[in-house]
């Protein structure tokens, strides 16, 4: 996120967005997202598939990506 934050901060029109993203990241605001990615990676490495969230609050869907 730091590259995204830094890039947005360079341009005047998006500087406030870049600063906001940087502050959220510094406070650990993206930790839940990174934990989710870690879990998806473990699932993929063990099974070859990933879980996608359900549509409109429905159950999640397992997608097999490799055999």
pLDDT per residue rounded down to tens, the chain (67 residues) = 678 888 888 888 899 999 998 999 888 988 998 898 999 999 999 999 999 888 888 999 999 998 7
pTM recorded for the entire structure? 0.60
Whether 51 and 37 have beta carbons less than 8 Å apart is answered as no
Whether 45 and 54 have beta carbons less than 8 Å apart is answered as no
What pLDDT shows up at residue 26?
A: 87
Helix or strand holding residue 49 (H, E): strand 49-52
Angle at 59 (CA atoms; ends 36, 61), nearest 5 degrees? 65
């Amino acid at each position: 996120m730091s590259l995204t934050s830094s890039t947005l901060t360079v341009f005047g029109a998006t500087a406030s967005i870049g600063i906001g993203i940087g502050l959220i990241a510094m406070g650990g605001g993206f930790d839940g997202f990174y934990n989710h990615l870690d879990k998806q990676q473990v699932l993929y490495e063990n099974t070859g598939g990933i879980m996608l969230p359900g549509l409109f609050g429905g159950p999640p869907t397992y997608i097999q990506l490799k055999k």
